Structure 1
Amino acid sequence: MSLPHAILTALLEKPSSGLELTRRFDRSIGYFWPATHQQIYRELGKLEQAGFIRVLPSQQPSRGQKKEFEVLSAGRAELTAWASGEQEVKPVRSALVLRLRAAAVVGRAGLDEELRRHLALHRRQLAEYEEIEGRDFGAAAEPEDRLRRLVLRAGIGLETFWVQWLEEALTEVEGMEPEGRATEGMETEESAGGEAAGEGV
């Protein structure tokens, strides 16, 4: 249910058209709750049918005019009830972390390249968050701005963690002995063990 509530939040901040909402998601809300423009338009239709939002009256001819939506009192009440209620804590899923576990049993081929790719992505996202913080939240004295900054700080904290962890993981993987050499060493040990066993017999 979080996407409709994210849309209600955005519309309460500023009445917008579907296209404007899509752009705002790309620049802000989408950082922590991504959505395609098809999903946004679909949810707008559902919210309008539910009586939570309405199209703003326009003085311009309707043909070719972008419809702007605003939140009605029922929509505000729905968002208030959702924001003040309990939120389920969901376990974290990471395909990359699972891949490391798999690599331990099937081999590390391509793992270092993938770690570098993820590291570059997280470094870029962290830099973007820090730029937004410096640009938009200098003082952040108002309670609303302080709450929005907390959202951004959560993103900065998560990206900082991933950058640090990926740097550690990459250093660890790059420092490991090549798998071919490790296999040869195991075969040598097994051969030596077999010869010793044969001598004992």
Structure 2
Amino acid sequence: MSTPHAILIALLEKPSSGYDLARRFDRAIGYFWQATHQQIYRELGRMVAAGWVSVMDDAAASRKKVYAVLPVGRDEVARWVRETPLGPNERNVFLLKLRADAVIGPLGLAEQLARLVRENRARLAVYREIEQRDFGAAVLSRGQALQYAILKAGIRTQESWLAWAAEVGPLVSDASPDA
């Protein structure tokens, strides 16, 4: 659902050929948003047809086409950021929205971040309850120790994400779409 928007955001950052865009997904964007080269080329064709991006020949390279976002494509990214709800495990979609905010924002992401923080705090509280209920014994069996290790991974993930969100919060809190 968000792959076209990931591509638009990447093109807003830097107009690119399909090949260069695919390489950027392989190197940087791909660490939090996956897209195959086939998906990228297929979506580029759809975006050209939809009028979201333009394509021009690169004067510096023969037979190379460069894609750039048109104003309607920029508007589509802003609409997507503001209107697409986040599911409970869609942190990477939020990261993609932050990337859009960085290039065309501010887009008013404070409430979305606040909701994710509430959800992650609630999940951390559940994990802590499980920890107290199930792993309070002085000696744990091997199986229990492994289960506890898994739970601790979840606890640390939540704590780390919440610490990150606390750092990001001030960057989006005053950033209203009208600013």
| TM-score, normalization by structure 2 | 0.48
